[in-house]
Amino acid sequence: MNDQPEHPATPAAPGPVTTHDAPDAPGSPSLRAQIHQDWIAHGKDWTLPGFRAVAVARFGQWRMTIKPKPLRAPLSILYRVLYRRVRNVYGIELPYSTQLGKNVVFEHQGAVVIHGCATIGDNCIIRQGVTIGNRTLDKPLDAPTLGKNVNVGAGAKILGKLTIGDNAVIGANAVVLQDVPPNTLAVGIPAVIKQPREATRP
């Protein structure tokens, strides 16, 4: 069974399995606890596509902790079926290898593409039409890192190996090609950095 994600542009993060990849490792919340927390973060609405996408990604991550590989195979088949369903029905591509923090919310569905090597920190909000991915085909593994509490507006594209600082706000339809410092606003194409009038939480 091949455990690589579905899309060639969203490869599995290379390197050893970390505690993040192993939610049931000692000291880490269980899969059940994580999904329960995600359900709360999504307004306790289990029908929301965003919640379902996150739950499937958590499951996909958890299954990688099952050893040996043949024991994991049926879970991998189930993961692939669920992943494809979320992708094809809701238009959310969220591979299991994306590093997902706590309380990450996918507020809406449709045209959401997240790279398998991307990191999304605690309490981030991702909206419809958002791409968090590589910038050029010759660097397929380059992917953004979002800090905590990053608020990504509808249609925003965050491209390449760059870092978005904690509490940053990415405006609707921005194309972000550079690092964004913490507590700032990035708007426009290509995005420019501005100071927010006040902490903005649309």
Ligand X SMILES: CC(C)(COP(=O)(O)OP(=O)(O)OC[C@H]1O[C@@H](n2cnc3c(N)ncnc32)[C@H](O)[C@@H]1OP(=O)(O)O)[C@@H](O)C(=O)NCCC(=O)NCCS
**CB of 179: closest distance to ligand X in angstroms?**
17
Torsion of CA 37, 174, 117, 23, to 10 degrees: -10
Q: Which of 172, 175, 177, 193 binds ligand X (CB under 6 A)?
A: 172
Q: How far is the CB of 173 from ligand X (least distance, A)?
A: 6
Which C-beta is closer to ligand X: that of 10 or that of 109? Answer: 109
Closest distance of CB 33 from ligand X, Å: 29
Tell me how far, at minimum, the Cβ of 19 lies from ligand X, in Å. Answer: 33
Token reading at 128 = 């419809």
State the CB neighbour count (10 A cutoff) for residue 19: 11
| Sheet of 163-164, strand order | 99-100, 119-120, 145-146, 163-164
The reply to whether 66 sits near ligand X by the rule CB under 6 A is no
The DSSP annotation for 112-155 comes to EEE-TT-EE-TT-EE-TT-EEE-SSTTSTT---EE-TT-EE-TT
* 127 touches ligand X (CB under 6 A): yes
Do 172 and 151 form a contact (C-beta atoms < 8 A)? no
What residues from 181 to 200 belong to the interface with ligand X (CB under 6 A)? 185, 187-188, 194, 196-197, 200
Q: Which is nearer to ligand X, 22 or 187 (CB)?
A: 187
Q: Interface residues with ligand X (CB under 6 A)?
A: 108, 127, 153-154, 169, 171-173, 185, 187-188, 194, 196-197, 200, 202
